[in-house]
A = this chain, B = another copy of it.
Amino acid sequence: MIFSSDNWAGAHPLIAESLVKAAPGFAPAYGTSPLDRRVEAMLAEVFEREVAVFFVGTGTAANSLAFASVTRPGGHVFCHREAHVNADECGAPEFFSLGARMAPVDGAFGKMDPERLEAEIKRFPPGFVHAGQPMAVTLTQATEAGTVYTLDEISAISDIAKRYNLPLHMDGARFANALVALDATPAEMTWKRGVDILSFGGTKNGCWCAEALILFDPAKTGDMPYLRKRSAQLFSKTRFVSAQLEAYLDKDLWLDLARHANAMAKRLADGISDSNSARLAWPSNANELFVILKTANAEALKEKGALFYDWPVPHALAGTLAADEGLYRLVTSFATEPADVDAFLEGCRSA
């Protein structure tokens, strides 16, 4: 009954196996091996176009390098208030982009409200140096609230970014979970809807450590190779990343893993909706659930071995919880077993 986070799961057996297979023999270092090239080609195929690919170590690195590549003095990156870049990256985006500011935009259930986004951008009239200047827009797909922007919602954000000449970045730490939720193609969910730069995450979905920064316009690569090296994110034995991604992308393993995680979340959501003792705080689209439980109930579940986090109640929900209730986050992963879901639901009911 471990629902703490999808990064509490380890690596999928096929990915571990791929690392074993890639271990022997010599290969050029620093991203120039044949395997590196092969995985880049696989990603081009996945996205149906030529892309520039930069392997990095963490999602935070991918996000922060994206901003570093478009940094401007006094720059503002517009993001949802609860976005990972704003709430959970300890100033990395500011550090990499040398002082750019994460500018929070509100919106229900983890998604930026397009009108509010535009209102925020408008607060920075061109040439008024005191306030600084807009620099980029970033959205998280799936969001930190477990929701997923629809394709049209992505377009709405993208249209505004384009109107103000701002590059659009997508934090895809849970890219695969969003993709299978929408039943869209990778191209449809990104560049066809105006996304310029993608943090493509593999770690949360069954890899050990496999993140890539993907630029949909390779002509804009610019100094990215130097930016990555300067930020100490250029691995010497890059094939250890490529080997993971080769297995990850092969025969759509990545989509299968995400479908499994989402299905486990749905099984959990359905059980909770049927229950008298718990309810969803808002609808879940991917592999994260936000659940309202009696606090006593939650404690009882924890005592039975369930692991999940207490979560701060967002403004939008203020006043809707009873005094004896709390908000909790549950995350499923490729490794979540139906039996664990059922045990949790059973515990829920009996509590």
Interface residues of A (CB under 8 A from B): 2, 4-5, 7-13, 15-17, 19-20, 22-30, 56-58, 60-61, 64, 68, 72-75, 87-92, 94-96, 98-102, 127, 129-133, 203-204, 208-209, 223, 225-237, 239-240, 307, 335
Tell me the smallest distance from the CB of A16 to a CB of chain B, in Å: 4
Q: Does B130 lie within 8 Å of A26, measured CB to CB?
A: no
Q: Does A73 lie within 8 Å of B98, measured CB to CB?
A: no
- The 7 A-B pairs of least Cβ separation, nearest first, read A74-B90, A61-B232, A94-B99, A7-B236, A208-B240, A57-B57, A74-B91
12 more A-B residue pairs beyond the given contacts A74-B90, A98-B99, with a C-beta to C-beta distance below 8 A:
A4-B26, A10-B22, A23-B208, A57-B57, A72-B226, A73-B227, A73-B229, A88-B130, A89-B230, A96-B232, A129-B225, A130-B229
Determine the residue in chain B with the shortest Cβ distance to A307: B26
Q: Does B92 lie within 8 Å of A231, measured CB to CB?
A: yes
Determine the residue in chain B with the shortest Cβ distance to A8: B26
How long is the Cα–Cα vector from A231 to B88 in the complex, in angstroms? 13
Residues of chain B with a CB closer than 8 A to A68's CB: 73
How long is the Cα–Cα vector from A228 to B61 in the complex, in angstroms? 11
Tell me the smallest distance from the CB of A81 to a CB of chain B, in Å: 11
Highest count of chain B CB atoms <10 Å: which of A20, A73, A92: A73
Q: Does B8 lie within 8 Å of A28, measured CB to CB?
A: yes
Q: Does B17 lie within 8 Å of A229, measured CB to CB?
A: no
Query: Which residue of B17, B29, B58, B72 contacts A234 across the interface (Cβ within 8 Å)?
Result: B58
| Contact A129:B73 (CB < 8 A) given known A23-B16, A208-B240 | no
Q: Does B101 lie within 8 Å of A73, measured CB to CB?
A: no
Tell me the smallest distance from the CB of A62 to a CB of chain B, in Å: 8
A-B contact pairs, 15 of them (CB 8 A): A7-B236, A10-B22, A26-B335, A60-B232, A74-B229, A87-B130, A89-B232, A90-B129, A90-B226, A92-B229, A94-B101, A95-B99, A95-B230, A99-B99, A127-B225
| Contact A99:B91 (CB < 8 A) given known A229-B130, A235-B57 | yes
Residues of chain B with a CB closer than 8 A to A12's CB: 23
Determine the residue in chain B with the shortest Cβ distance to A98: B98
Q: Does B9 lie within 8 Å of A20, measured CB to CB?
A: no
Q: Does B88 lie within 8 Å of A131, measured CB to CB?
A: yes
Q: Does A29 lie within 8 Å of B7, measured CB to CB?
A: yes
Tell me the smallest distance from the CB of A148 to a CB of chain B, in Å: 21
Q: Does B8 lie within 8 Å of A58, measured CB to CB?
A: no
Residues of chain B with a CB closer than 8 A to A131's CB: 87-88, 90
| Contact A102:B99 (CB < 8 A) given known A12-B23, A127-B225, A235-B58 | no
Query: Which residue of B30, B100, B235 contacts A209 across the interface (Cβ within 8 Å)?
Result: B235
